[in-house]
Amino acid sequence: MKLNRKDFFKGAALGIISLPFAIKGCTNENIAQSSSTTTVSGKKYKWKMVTTWPPKFPVLGEGCELFAKWVYEMSGGRMEIKVYGGGELVPALEIFNAVSSGAAEIGHGSAYYWAGMAPSSQFFASVPFGMNAQQMNSWLISGGGLELWEELYDKFNLIPMPAGNSGVQMGGWFNKEINSVADLQGLKMRMPGLGGKVLAKAGGNPILIAGGELYTSLERGVIDATEWIGPYHDYIMGFHQIAKYYYSPGWHEAGTVLEMFFNKEKFNGLPSDLQEILRTAAMRLNMWMLSELEAKNTFYLKKILAESDAELRVFPQEVLDELKKYTDEVLADVTASDPFAKRVYESYDNFRKDAAEWSKLTEKVFYNKIQI
């Protein structure tokens, strides 16, 4: 169909222009249905968001506060969200149940924290030696990952959304050198998710500790090593003051997704425009967190090296090769014991393999051949 300028603006004013391309999940029929069901009322909502992060925690907690601000502004003040850090309303690692039960309407954390209740949840956070941030976003948003995630969380009366990403993390802080896999034997290390299971296969002792307890745990010897996020947060936490070796790369978390999840009944009870405002704000937060961390990690790595005696190390290839072998064993164990986890991992891994072939021709060549 050919439209002249006059017809175009007339149609645009009436909201009936049919776009000559297809957006996934967006058809003329969907647009018509959405337009007919959108409701705007003067009713105001006051919701609670509980998080796994310490109160006001830089970037992660700040991002949740920004989310609340964006929602308030986009809704014209019709929705107010109060953000609670871990322990302020409920313990950090109990937010999943709090939102599922309706004690709070929104939660923010990372899906691998809930592996005990839903083993397949880990694949929606990070897989050792797996996809990076842009690949994870691509799988979730355009590769079928989000649909599987929604199917899983539906059993818990929750609706999940990607709402942040750490990017490639560091490998962690240690007070002894890691020259071989034997050096991991008996090592008490804070490491959640599938990475923790791999560490256990290597003879280590993974411990799940909330972020607010990490410094004192490492300082007092409750743990021998810890991974957290990257240079910015590690600097703020002060790990460079109590640990000697800072290892790279974060083999266990190459692009960890941070999640936002909503109580399904409360979310579905909202007017459709507020639902879309929440979805839009979550997507904005997804990009903001990754961008903020990339900028700050670059600067704070320099500060760590300039202001401490910490030594930057890279895991030996022998160690990485052994950890990759243990990763394959862990993934086989998880998928063999949980049919849904098998479905999720097949989707994840098929997407990863295709993405890897593309990145070999693009990013790998760029970093190795072009960027200095």
Q: Where are the domains of the chain?
A: 44-165+256-293
Q: Is the Cβ–Cβ distance between 11 and 244 less than 8 Å?
A: no
Does residue 257 sit in helix, strand or coil? strand
DSSP H or E stretch at residue 72? helix 60-74
Instruction: Look at residue 31 in the predicted model and tell me its pLDDT.
Output: 41
**Per-residue pLDDT tens digits of the chain, which is 372 residues long:** 444 444 433 443 333 333 333 334 444 444 444 444 555 668 999 999 999 998 989 999 999 999 999 999 999 999 999 999 999 999 999 999 999 999 999 999 999 999 999 999 999 999 999 999 999 999 999 999 999 999 999 999 999 999 999 999 999 999 999 999 999 999 999 998 899 999 999 999 999 887 778 999 999 999 999 999 999 999 999 999 999 999 999 999 999 999 999 999 999 999 999 999 999 999 999 999 999 999 999 999 999 999 999 999 999 999 999 999 999 999 999 999 899 999 999 999 999 999 999 999 998 899 888 876
Q: Say how far apart CA 192 and CA 308 lie, in whole Å.
A: 27
- Nearest CA-CA partner of 149 in 303, 311, 348: 348
- How far is Cα 28 from Cα 22, in angstroms, rounded to an integer? 9
Q: Enter the pTM of the model.
A: 0.85
Q: What is the per-residue pLDDT for 6?
A: 45
200 touches 163 (CB < 8 A)? no
User: Do the strands 45-51 and 257-263 form a parallel or antiparallel pair, or are they unpaired?
Assistant: unpaired
Pick the CATH number of 44-165+256-293 from 3.50.50.60, 3.40.50.300, 3.40.190.170, 3.40.50.10440: 3.40.190.170
Looking at residue 243, what is its pLDDT? 95
Q: How far apart are the first and last CA of the chain?
A: 50
